[in-house]
Structure formats: C-alpha cells, structure tokens
Structure 1
Amino acid sequence: MLAVLPALIAISVFSVGSWTVSGSQSILDPATTSVPHLQQDDAHDTSVISPVPYRALTPLLDTPWTAKVGTLPWPQHPRPLLYRENWQTLNGIWTYQPAFSSTELPNPPALPLAREVLIPSCIESALSGIMANGVTYMWFGTTFTIPSDWPTGQRILLNFEAVDYEATVFVNGAQVGFNRGGYFRFTVDVTDNVNPNGENSLLVFVFDPTDSSPYHIPNGKQTRSPSHIFYTPCTGIWQPVWLESAPPNHITSMDFSADMEGTVTTTIHSSAGGSDPVEVTVLDQDGSVVSTQDAVSDESFTFAVPSPKLWSPDSPTLYNVTVKMGADAVSSYTGFRTISSGKVNGVQRPLLNGKFVFQFGTLDQGYWPDGIYLPPTLEAMVYDLGLLKGLGMNMVRKHIKVEPDLFYQACDRLGLLVIQDMPCMPATVSMETSPPDASEQAEFQRQIEILVNEHKSYPSIVTWVIYNEGWGQLKETYYPEFPIATRIRELDPTRLIDATTGWFDHGAGDFSDNHHYAEPQCGTPFNSLPSSPYDPSRIGLQGEFGGIGHIPEAKNLWPVQAAIDTINQTYEINSDLDSYNYRAHVLLDLLREQVARFACSGAVWTQTTDVEGEVNGLVTYDRRFVRVDATQWKADIQAIYAAANARA
C-alpha cells in the first residue's frame, strides 16, 4: 500500500494523463537549416573516442541547492498519479553533441557523443555541464540495461517527462518514437527493440527553435534574446527519463475526479483499448478501505465514497487509490472537492465545495539561476511553494509554464490552489504582424488538450488559462478562445476557465480578468486600458498586480549587464525594504477595500521570485534573501480573507 505521506520531501509517486507518441512529421524542413546556431561550441568530430568528462559549471548565480544536485538528479519516481513497482531512472550522465540540421536523422551517430551532459537539464544551464545558447539541433545519448529481476513476458516502456521541443528517439539504431511539444510527457514501448540481457543504446535527436523566426510554438517566456520579462530559454531533455515494466495489456493513464458529495468519476485507459475488468480501491489516511468498485477499462464509470473528508487549502486531505487490471497494478491518489461558479449575495464567485473562497497567491514563473527551467532539486521546488503557504497564501498561478508532476503533487499536499496557464506562443512585435498560421494554431490547440488531459486529475488545479495578455492570441480573423474553452469543458467539466487573462477579453470563459500595475482594479467599476471593463456576469479576478521592486545586493542579483540595464523597466522600484514593505501594505490594503466594496474574488501578486532582470519577487532569484516582512504580509492577507468572508 502506498501511503500519502505528510512529509513533502517523501514525494515518490507519479502522474495521471494520457501519454502521446505522435508519428506526424516534424515542423522542421529536413532540407532547411534556416535557424542558425548562435553558439556551437562542439562540432561533429568522428575522431572523438572519449567524451569530454562532465563537470557542473559555475552558474552566474547559484542557489542553496546547487551543490546538492550531484550526478544522479531527480531520483524520485516522476509520475505520482500512476506508480508501478518496477521502474528505473535513466537520469544521470549522458553524452551530447550539437547537430547541423535534420539531415543527420537518417544516420544517427555512434556512442559516446562528444561530451558528457547531465540529464535532465537545460543545455543552457550550468548544471548541464554544457551552458550553450542558441543550439537548434542536437543529439543526446546513453546506454542502459534492463534490470535482471524484472519479470519476463512484460513490456518495456521508455518514458520521457518533457523534451523541448521535438524529440526523435532511437533504440539500438532503430527509430522508435517521435514527439512534439516541450512541456508534455510521452512513452515509447521499446520491448521489441531492446536486448533484455545486455547493453542497449539510446539516442535522442532534438530540434528546438524557441522563438526564432518564422516559428510560432508554445514556449512561454523563453527567448534567445533575453530582456526584462523574457528569459533564458531551455533546450533539450529537461525532465526525467525512465524505464518501467508493465504487462502486455497495461494501464496507460487514469482520469479521476472526486467531488464534495463523494462521487468519483473515473476512466482507466488501457494499452489494448478494450473493455477489460478493472478494480478500483480507495483508502483513507489510515489505510482503511472506504470503497471498492469493479468496472471495465476505457469507459467512464462512477462510484461513491461515503462521507469523504474534503480537500481544501485549510485541510488538504488526500485518499490513496489502487487500481488493478489483469496482471497490472498501479497506485495513485485523489482528493474530494468541487470547483464551480455561482452567485453569492448577487456577485458571481468562484466556489470551492459550495463556498466562496477568495483566492490569493503569486505569479509563479518557475525559473532558477542554476537550472533555468528545472529546479535543482525537489527540495528547492518545494521551498518556493512553502514560502507562499507560510505567508498565508492559498493559491499559485503557474505562469505560462508546465512544471514536473511532482510540483502539482506538492500543491495537492500543501493545499495550494493552482491556476494553470497554457504556455503561450511567442509574444513579439512581429507576432502582431505575423500571427500564427492555421497549422500553428491547430498545434497550440492540440497541446492545450494534452495539458488538460495530463493534469486534470490533480485536485489542486482549479482553473485553466488559455491566453495571457494576448500573446500568440488571434484577435482579428476570429476569437479562438471560444472554441478552445468549449473543448476544455468537454475534456474537463470540473474546473473553471480563464480564457484571456489581462487583455483582449471578448467574453469567453468564467473570469473577467484585469491586469494592472501596481494598484489593483479588481471587479471595480473603473479600469485602465488595455484591460477590459469588469463584466458582472463573470468572476472578477485581478490576474496580475503589485510588481513592486527592490534592487538587492550584487551577490543576489543576476550578473548579466543586459538584464541589469532593464531593471528600470520594473513597474516600481523602492530604494529600501521599509519602503518596499510599506508599498506592499498600501497595495494589499487597497485590494482589501476593493474586496469589501466591489466584486473582487481573487488576486495574483507579481511575483514569487526575482527572475534575471526582474527584481520584484518576494525572494531574490537565488532564493537567499526574502524581502517580505512576514508578520505584516500575513496580517494583510488575513485581512483580505476576512473582507471576502464578510461578503459571503
């Protein structure tokens, strides 16, 4: 039995969702090399016999966890909603070399490659041992053996949690899989390609144009030309790689939705795609069985758990789940809660378990000076979330990025509501004159469906965000947020949708979402362009505000002159911490007044941490200096909740 452990560092289980291996053609033209290498510190050298040994390079700025990474990073099981006993991490030292174009695909290089690299990591990061920028095409390689104690007759599944942006996978020289999308997992059944009793070679060819013209791909805030609110990109295998053993007909993903009445709605997806018998068992916090249900795979079914303890930020109760299908057995978990929208004293509100709960938290970029897109360790990732929870916040907005699944498990355990953004397509001036074409828009919509399917079983996620401030949003020919919102509701009717956070609101979704710096304009009868006026038929949300800054000591600052030169673009700079905390108090008190007087139902403070040239975090980019006066912030946040409760 897999216990739901209260200790966050004990996180060791994995995630729900549907895995996808796309056999479609790459977006790159095999005959084209129009996206150049901006830096290529290694070229193909067929004379290389031994790769350049790995060493962690010195990051421009480190964190308290940098030195703790070692050469076996992220050893935890990466999918907490779908855990099998037989699994093996492939994280560690691989080899790497840049490539010149996709024309190299038909002739994969021999192992080892030119130099060693740490997997998972962004090749731009110091932890990778590469620290290269602007590489568009590249190879990664390693060898592996199948554990001798794994049962015979089972399938060998090769799992990638995220590769940015396109990955073509070879095992023992045979091409076995292809995936597009830099934020999502994929699985390849390599049983027929591996030697179960000896060494196997694994090669991955990666193509990542980031925001290079003419490509429009979902990439969030990644850019090859970092400036203020756009940051160093992440390229390559940046989340864990691992093997597992499963029966020929095995569970590929599981959808769980458990509501406040105790009704559990479930679909168990199988590799065979047939109606095979399944048994689902739900266990409480003491390990006692509270419900057992027999059903069939690949069909939605419901069952009841009597008088469940509900999940909420104040009481994040989770229930363990075990699922058996034939010879396959997996462990998972769920939480009982209901997310909805309804009128409370004449105001449209977000409801958690039938009650208005004011949502307050930070804009969370998820960037790190040592790992760029990947936190150096699980402990580091949980630190950021614990900081928010410790100040009394009950929500985090995951800003145009998708995190490793262990992030969402940590939010489930801590009791942090998650507003989850879809990573946007590039937000550049050229995007306004050259919007995404039909195929690029279709790819964006395909990937947002993957986002929803992979993450819809995490209790903490309460809202899906489609577009942020018009970035990559079509606004002239038609409004795609309407059909996208309809599709999301089909895939996941249990959550709310913020179709356009900030600007260019045409009326889709559940929220009337304002962005304004530094003062809030939350559910108010006044607004400033480009945010739209408050729409009383939807929920009033302050999607972003605050953003006040303070320049830290040089030792806590990202030491890149181009970034330092953009600090003055911060919405407001305070000369000392007293003035910083005073201004924060003024802004939070203004928010409290708007909650008490108008129709404000939630607010997102910018932001959790500094990032490169932005110095408006609660904590510096290196996580070594916390700016906030904790006593004052806790009191101000509680006053906001009290004002909301008085309106409820």
Structure 2
Amino acid sequence: MKKTLFVCCALAWALCAQAQWKPAGDKIKTQWAEQVNPESVLPEYPRPQLERADWMNLNGEWEYAIQPAGQAEPGQFQGNILVPFAVESSLSGVQKEVGDKNELWYKRTFTVPSKWKGKDIVLNFGAVDWKAEVFVNDVLIGSHKGGYTPFSFNITPYLQGSGAQKLVVRVWDPSDKGYQPRGKQTSNPEGIWYTPVTGIWQTVWLEPVAENHITSIKAIPNVDAKVMNVTVGTSACASSIVEVKLLDKGQVVATGKGIQGQEIRLGVNNPTLWSPSNPYLYDMQVTLLQKGKAVDQVKSYTAFRKISVGKDKSGIKRMYLNDKPLFQYGPLDQGWWPDGLYTAPTDEALLFDIKKTKDWGFNMIRKHVKVEPARWYYHCDKEGILVWQDMPSGDMGNSWAPHTYNGGTDKQRTPESVANYYQEWKEIMDLCMSNPSVVVWVPFNEAWGQFDTEKVVAWTEAYDPSRLVNPASGGNHRPCGDILDLHNYPGPDMFLSDPQRVNVLGEYGGIGLPLENHLWWNKRNWGYIQFKDGEAVTAEYVKYANELKDFVKRGFSAAVYTQTTDVEGEVNGLMTYDRKVIKINEAKVKAANEAVIQSLSE
C-alpha cells in the first residue's frame, strides 16, 4: 500500500510539474512548440564531434530571479524557467527582459549517479549569453564571457558527499549597451533588429570522465596528400598518448598515435570526398592511453573536403570544391525562432530549416551574425550543405564609407573590446573548425563594428589556413582576404569587381509577403519590396534568379538570397517565422536555383 501510494504521489508530482510550465505570451509559435516536454528538453547529445556514452542532461525547469546587478544571491527566487530557452523567449515560460542594469540568476540541484563514483565530473554549457559565473555548493568555481560558444568546468573538488548538489549560475548581458558580439539583438526591436537574448540558451549537461581525459578534437583534411590531420587536446600531461582510428562503414582504414596537442596524420588511399551531392562522413574513435591502458574514449567523425580558389577557363577567380568550380548559392539564415528566439524548440526543428534549404535546390547557407549549437553544424555535415559562418556583430557603429576599393575609415574600439572580439572569434572558429560543411569565415558584416580589417583577416587566415576568408560581407571593402562581397537590394547587381579575388553577391532579394495570422507583431513589417501572394513572390524570385545567371558569367561565384524565414518584423522569408507556410512555389524555385548553380559550368 505504501509503495503504491509513493508511486501515485511521484506520478502526481511529475504531472503537476509538467502542468506548471507552459509557454509564455500569445505570439505565434512553431508546430514544434507543442512537442516541448519539460521533463525531456532537447534530449539529444549536444556535442556530436566529441561524444561520450555516459552523460546527464540538466535541461528542464530551474529556478530563476532577475535583480539589480551587483547584489548577492537572492534569498528567494521568483519562479521557474525552462532551460535552455532564453528568459525573453516564450518557451522559457517567463518571457521577461533583463537589461544591462540587472542580472539573471539560475538555481537547481542535481545528484551524481552512484555508478559515476571514482570519476571526475565535468559540467558543460553549450552557450550562455553573455557573462556567466558558476557556483557549485556556494563556491564560485569559474566564469566565461562569450554568448555563442561552449565552456566546461571540472566540478569534482566542489561536490559534497553523495546527496543533492546545488548549482547556481549568474548572468549579465548588456545586449546593445555593451561592446560584446550580439548580432541582431537590441533593446528596442524594430525593422531588422530583434528581441534581446539573455542567459542559458543551449544544453547544460554533466559527464563522468577520468582525471586525465580528452577535451578537444581538431580534424583538418588535406585532400591533395590524402591525409586527415587530427590534433587531440587533453587534460593530461604531455606523456599521455592519444590513439586515433578512422573508420569507413565500421572498418578501420587508418590509425595514428601521438601525444596530446601534436598533429597526427592519418593516410587514406582514395578517400571518398564530401560534397553537397555526396556528404560522405568517416567515423573516428579517439582514445587516451596511459601506460598502455585506455583511460578515456570518445566518438567523433570527419570528412575529406577541399575548399580553394582557382581560375576558370575564362581566367575568372572562382571558389573550387574538391578542385572543381562550384557556384555556391544559398539563403541568408538568421537562425531565430518565434517561440525559442535563439533556440530551436526541438532537434527536429533545428534540422527542418536545413532540409528545406536543400529541398529548394540551394547548396549553401550563410549563417548570419549568429552562431548555432554544435548539432546544427552536424546536421549540415550530414545533409550536405556548405556554410559561411559570420562573426556576430557587436560594438557597432555607422562607419560607412563610399563603395570604393580602398576607401573607408574603420571604427575605433577600446583595447578591451578588441581583445574580446579576438577571444570570441577564436572560440567560434574552434567550435566549427572540424565541420566539413563550414567553408568560409566572415569576420564582419556591412561595416557593423568593422575595425582593423586587414589585421583581423590576417589573423583569421593564420589561425585557419584551410578555409576561405570573406573580409566584410557588404562592408567597407579592403584589398585583403579571398573574397569581395557586395550587397544589393532588391535585385542582383555587380557594381564593383576585383580580378584578384573571388567576387560574390553576399545579399540580395528581400522579397516581402506578410501573411495574416503568421506575423510577429501588428506594427510595420519590413521588406525591401512587398507582394500580396506567393505566386507574385515566386515570379519575382525567378526573375532575379534569371538575372543572376548573367552575373555569374560576368564573374559572380556565389550569391546569398535574403532570407530563409521571416524574423520578427522582417517578412521577407521564403517561409513564415512560424515555419507553417511556405510562401513560394517550391518546384519553380528549386528549378531556378539549380539553373543558377549549373550556369557556372555551362
């Protein structure tokens, strides 16, 4: 009887907890919002390129409080928040703004599984915007600045016994009042600027590890040499040995050993090359050895892919993929959600935009002034979509200069702002370094916070020589990097060119179609031009695509259409913000896109 009563009480408590959480506000939502279960939020392992079998997801309901900055931990919290959805989002269950004068506090407890006894415990955060300070059992154990990248702490020394452990996170985010990278977040959303995002917005998890364990994997292919160069970082001393195995459909095709931090070369005869038409991935198994014994082992994956610049038969500089010219064509992808803001409601939702992009005949995505969770890049790797990765803009100003080749005066930043830019850009590059889908780095967009362009580009090229660098997409143009990138709305135009670099149309289009019952707000919605139905939008899209084909022959090697979805006040998406309506005739758009891509090889 007592056992039955206990089970009933536990079930009632679980149902009550689920009933307590609900999305906040009355704005539009995606279909996946209804699938969010507070007992199992984003349950997928969050780091596919360094995967451990044993882990504990800490997503779910935490306590939260918003209070003036500088105060001690509140004695009483204000309610529950669903992690990892930003506090301003509907799916957080809170939907409150924090602002630069306040701090956001999180609190929860966890219990370390008994089977993890004897292991070190690592606490991982996918991303927290912007400054996070972490307390375990009332001890401040560390902090991290940077809104877009993962960080971890070994919390073993701070655990107390085998019972409940207290975890508190304090967050401060000045949004557009600070110098930090923040993309399109603003305290006054309108037009092309969106709602602020504060706090935990990616998965939080625990995992048991050996005292000496693997912390990072960098895999960079050398297609010409038929070699995969792998560098493994560990927490171990230099005498520990790492072993890397490359597997093709379960069969080991290459093995190498070395000490941590040293590049290991794995040779493969006739490797299968990765491309949008054949996104072929190899599995990796990485093992840390001490005295010949395996103390840590993780799963990973990689691919053989080469991105380069060469001249076509007409002497025009083009982007080459695996030594063949390929016109790269895709949408500007903001990566925002009406219910989760920076965070997709589910992994299925995260994949949806990528699959639709492929369905429409595109082969590339420009990830615009935002960084995604590691699983988004994993999906791009698996689905076969090229990615241009923007640095989220910050410390912004209107330092526009005339569209002249050498013109322009860069905005001045403080030394603190400059140092923070490089630190965050490095961490973003580290996050995406081993993803074969990522082929272009974009340090600046449209002069938004642009500074020291030649220095930033040189640093980026030196840090990752394996990819191309697009110095400033539509920005103050400088004679550096691999690409000259023009923006022109609404239709394509080539008003400037550089015979020494690849020329691309980094943004165009912006064809607007506001659809009732799928709008974020009722005030003015933004679009460069607006139509009244999908048929007219499709016709205009196809017209621009046909015009673009002529510019391809003149020298454009890539183009980016604005944009994948509506976002808040922007109604120029190929689908609505809630992803419930595709605005265009998909078959006609796909045919037009494939014709543009094919025009480079004609």
TM-score under structure 1 normalisation? 0.85
Q: Which runs of 5+ in 2 are unaligned?
A: 1-16, 290-294, 401-408
2:215 alignment partner, SS class: strand
1:305 to partner: Cα distance: 1.4
Is the aligned partner of 1:202 residue 2:167? Answer: yes
Q: Is the 8 A contact 1:166 1:206 kept in 2?
A: yes
How far 1:415 moved relative to its partner? Answer: 0.2
* 1:534-570 CA-partner distances (Å, limit 9, x unpaired): 1110001110001111121x21111x23xx32x2x42
Paired position in structure 2 for 1:468: 445
> In the alignment, which of 591, 603, 621 is matched to residue 548 of structure 2?
591
The partner residue of 1:555 within 509, 513, 517 is 517
- The answer to whether structure 1 residue 622 and structure 2 residue 587 are counterparts is no
Q: Structure 1 residue 503: deviation in Å?
A: 2.0
Of 501, 506, 512, which aligns to 1:543?
506
Equivalence for 1:372? 341
How many Å separate the matches in 1 of 2:387 and 2:61?
A: 33
Q: Name the counterpart of 2:382.
A: 413
Once the two structures are TM-superposed, the CA of residue 56 in structure 1 deviates from its matched residue by: 2.4
2:476 corresponds to 1:499? no
Displacement of 1:491 after TM fit? 1.9
Please name the residue that 1:330 is paired with.
298
Q: Is the 8 A contact 1:59 1:369 kept in 2?
A: no
SS class of match (1:441): helix
Shift of 1:148: 1.4
Shift of 1:340: 1.0
Q: Give the CA deviation at 1:481.
A: 2.0
CA distance in 2, matches of 1:599, 1:368: 35
Which residue in the other structure is 2:110 paired with?
144
Counterparts of 1:433 and 1:280 in 2: how far apart (Å)?
A: 45
Task: Give the AA of the match of 1:578.
Answer: E
Q: Aligned partners of 2:374 and 2:235: how far apart in 1?
A: 22
Q: Distance between the aligned counterparts of 1:179 and 1:430, measured in 2?
A: 30
Amino acid at match of 1:463: V
| Structure 2 residue aligned with 1:66 | 33
Of 229, 233, 257, the residue aligned with 1:265 is: 229
Q: One-letter code of the match for 1:572?
A: I
Matched, 1:128 2:92: yes
CA–CA distance in structure 1, aligned partners of residues 597 and 125 of structure 2 = 41
The number of residues matched between the two structures is 567
Q: Deviations over 1:226-246 (max 9, x none)?
A: 011010111111111000111
| Structure-2 separation of matches of 1:449 and 1:619 | 33
Q: Deviations over 1:145-180 (max 9, x none)?
A: 111112x33211000110111000000010101000
Shift of 1:641: 1.9
Change (3 A) 1:272 1:116: same
* 1:208-228 deviation line (CA, Å, top 9, x unaligned): 11002xx21100000110011
Conserved 8 A contact 1:124-1:131: yes
Q: Is the alpha carbon distance of 1:172 and 1:153 closer, same or farther for their aligned partners in structure 2, counting shifts above 3 Å?
A: same
**Contact 1:259 1:336 survives alignment (8 Å):** yes
Matching residue of 2:530: 573
Q: Which amino acid aligns with 2:572?
A: N
Q: Hey, what's the Cα distance between the residues in 1 that align with 2:162 and 2:260?
A: 33
Residue-by-residue CA offset, 1:569-590 (whole Å, 9 max, x unaligned): 4211112222211111110000
Instruction: Quote the Cα distance in structure 1 between the aligned partners of 2:395 and 2:87.
Output: 21
Shift of 1:273: 4.7
Give the match for residue 47 of structure 2.
79
Superimposed CA distance per residue, residues 275-323 of structure 1 (whole angstroms, 9 cap, x where no aligned partner): 4211111111x21111111222111221201111110000000000000
Is 1:340 aligned to residue 340 of structure 2? no
Amino acid of the structure 2 residue aligned with 1:555: N
Aligned to 1:35: none
Mean Cα deviation higher: 112-121 or 584-593: 112-121
Supply the distance in 1 between the matched residues of 2:399 and 2:465 (Cα, whole angstroms).
Answer: 36
One-letter amino acid of the counterpart of residue 619, structure 1: M
1:306 aligns to 2:265 (yes or no): no
Deviation at 1:199, TM superposition (A): 0.6
Superposed counterparts of 1:222-621, under 5 Å: 222-261=185-224, 262-284=226-248, 286-326=249-289, 327-345=295-313, 346-427=315-396, 435-474=412-451, 480-521=452-493, 524=494, 527=495, 533-552=496-515, 554-558=516-520, 560-561=521-522, 564-565=523-524, 567=525, 569-596=526-553, 598-621=554-577
Q: Return the alpha-carbon distance in structure 2 between the equivalents of residues 466 and 595 of structure 1.
A: 25
Segments of structure 1 that go 5 or more residues without pairing to the other structure are 1-49, 475-479, 528-532
CA distance in 1 between counterparts of 2:395 and 2:545 reads 32
Conservation of the 8 A alpha-carbon contact between 1:401 and 1:423: yes
| Partner-residue secondary structure (3-state), 2:34 | helix
Distance of 1:273 and 1:407 partners within structure 2: 33
Shift of the 544–118 alpha-carbon distance from structure 1 to 2, 3 Å rule, reads same
Partner amino acid for 1:549?
G
2:58 to 81, 87, 90: 90
Alignment partner of 1:591: what SS? helix
Separation in 2 of the partners of 1:333 and 1:196?
A: 37
Deviations along 1:168-205, one digit per CA (max 9) or x if unpaired, are 00000101010001101110110000135111000001
Amino acid at match of 2:570: E
Match of 2:14 in 1: none
State the identity as a percent.
39
Describe the shift of the 1:75–1:59 C-alpha distance in structure 2 as closer, same or farther (beyond 3 A): farther
Tell me how far apart the structure 1 counterparts of residues 189 and 410 of structure 2 sit (CA, whole Å).
Answer: 21
- Corresponding residue SS for 1:65: helix
Q: Is the 8 A contact 1:273 1:298 kept in 2?
A: no
Contact 2:98/2:104 (8 A) holds in 1:
no
TM-score (norm 2): 0.91
2:441–2:469 CA contact under 8 A, matched in 1: yes
- Give the letter aligned to residue 234 of structure 1: V
Q: Does 1:634 align with 2:590?
A: yes
Shift of 1:507: 1.4
Cα RMSD for the two superposed structures? 1.8
Partner of 2:119: 154
